[in-house]
Amino acid sequence: MERFATENAAFPGCSSMRIAGAVRAGERVYLSGGNALRAEGAITGPGDAAAQTHAALDKLEASLKAAGGSLTNLTKLTTCIVDRGYRSDVYGVITERLPNVRPVSTGLVVAGLGRPELIVQIDADAAIPSKPVRYTRPYTFDSWHGQGFPWHGSMVVSTDDEFFVRGQTGSGLDHSGIVAKGRSLADAGAQADLALRNLALLLREAGSSMEEVCKITVYISDRAYRPAVYPMIGKHFGDVRPVSTGIVTTAFARPDILFEIDVVAIRSRDGKPHQRLRPYHSSAAKYGTESQKLDCKFCMIAVAGDQVILRGQTGMGLDEKLYGAGDAKAQAEQAMDNVETLLAEAGAGLDDVAKATVYVTESDFLPAVNETVLKRLSKAAPAFTTLVVKGLASPELLMEVDIVAVRKSRHR
């Protein structure tokens, strides 16, 4: 594993901490979120969504170039904006800069980014494979769902190692629009049901299956939808037991979307299933101080080859107790204690971390949480992304950290 374009993090509270623009392990490239925040702390294009999008892509391009690639190696974009009104400017620039690339995509409206002046952040995945990537269900629109900008992409981008899947919503695969357009629990459940049926179909068409899904990230627009959404996840994943992260986000690409799911799907080798360590049933787990009857089977650690992917970690200890009530920094310390323990159980360490993604529920929490996480990862200098979100699985949870590590046997 090699780390490229390493620099001090420019976020408040952690300017002495090192992060990598790109971390490469084999063909896979993990990237820090691209935004308009410069290394010295200034912002490119204040108030200008198009200028900030160019700056974000410039940053991703530089990181990929250092790792031996280019923007043509992008496989997935998770584009986070602070207001849906910026979509036309943001996506118009992306289309201009990626004329011959068909990445899969997820579009979110978030509560904030690493600095108040930031409008857009692009969290991207990339691969530099020896063989050309394969596209499943590529598409081109002159005007994306009537939103005034052209867009082209695909539903799945496949390499020999991994399947990158477009974020799935309650929208038909024929682009006919969202089902169940109300705001009830039943509507959220119906959207989740269709999204998961679409996901299973797309994976089959790409030569994969739900059994190869290692991680899910579930986005909903209201925490109240959890009891409707998660039973659908349990229904469609059955005994697969992916690791999971649950985010309450401000909004989605369209006002009638209530649910979106991202997955990490990695090709199994020699007919051997991925390892799922520390299995649990969500109805028996605590989220904050309470249990939630969600009827899903998950695990804490998914191991695919030498990739180690953890459930999103919070102030919930591995003993099911909440630590640091009302204190985001203390919750971050507990989360990183959990990370260290879980990585060790999978044969990895903190210095093997390739990518860390931090979520907080208030922008004021960012300096302390980012500093805590990066201090614990000081030997790793990982790719790093940070977001302010509307909420997490429980109101008591103030932060969450996603971790991907690559065990040393795969380091190159």
Whole-number pLDDT of residue 409: 65
User: If residue 6 lies in a helix (H) or strand (E), which one and from where to where?
Assistant: strand 2-8
Distance of CA 206 to the CA centre of its chain: 21
Amino acid, single-letter form, for residue 310: L
Residue 88 buriedness (CB in 10 A; 0-12 / 13-18 / 19+): middle
Cα angle: 126, vertex 28, 218; to 5 degrees:
65
pLDDT digits (tens, 9 = 90+) for 207-220: 999 999 999 999 99
Q: How far is CA 364 from CA 22, 217, 334, 340, 390, in A?
A: 27, 24, 19, 26, 13
Residue 234 has pLDDT above 60, yes or no: yes
- Sheet harboring 156-158: ordered strands across? 134-136, 156-158, 162-165, 259-266, 213-220, 243-248
Mean pLDDT, rounded, for 33-62 = 95
**Range with the poorest average pLDDT among 169-178, 287-296, 403-412:** 403-412
Whole-number pLDDT of residue 41: 85
Whole-number pLDDT of residue 378: 93
Cα angle: 109, vertex 168, 197; to 5 degrees:
155
Which of 166-180, 235-249, 267-281 reaches the highest mean pLDDT?
235-249
Q: In degrees to the nearest 10, what's the CA dihedral of 55, 56, 60, 62?
A: 20
Q: How far is CA 230 from CA 141, 199, 226, in A?
A: 32, 15, 6
Distance of CA 188 to the CA centre of its chain: 21
How many CB atoms neighbour CB 65 within 10 A?
16
All residues at 6 or more sequence positions from 94 whose CB lies less than 8 Å from its CB, including other chains: 53, 57, 77, 79, 122
pLDDT digits (tens, 9 = 90+) for 11-36: 777 778 899 999 999 999 999 999 99
Residue whose pair of structure tokens reads 């090709």 in the numeric block: 267
Residue 410 has pLDDT above 60, yes or no: no
The SS3 call for residue 141 is strand
Cα angle: 18, vertex 21, 24; to 5 degrees:
110
Residue 411 has pLDDT above 60, yes or no: no
Whole-number pLDDT of residue 148: 78
Taking all residues of the chain, what is their mean pLDDT, rounded to a whole number?
94
For residues 39 and 247, what is the distance between their CA atoms, to the nearest angstrom? 28
Q: Facing residues of 316 across strands?
A: 322
Share of the chain above pLDDT 90, in %: 86
Whole-number pLDDT of residue 146: 75
Residue whose pair of structure tokens reads 């090699």 in the numeric block: 2
For residues 290 and 292, what is the distance between their CA atoms, to the nearest angstrom? 7
The SS3 call for residue 30 is strand
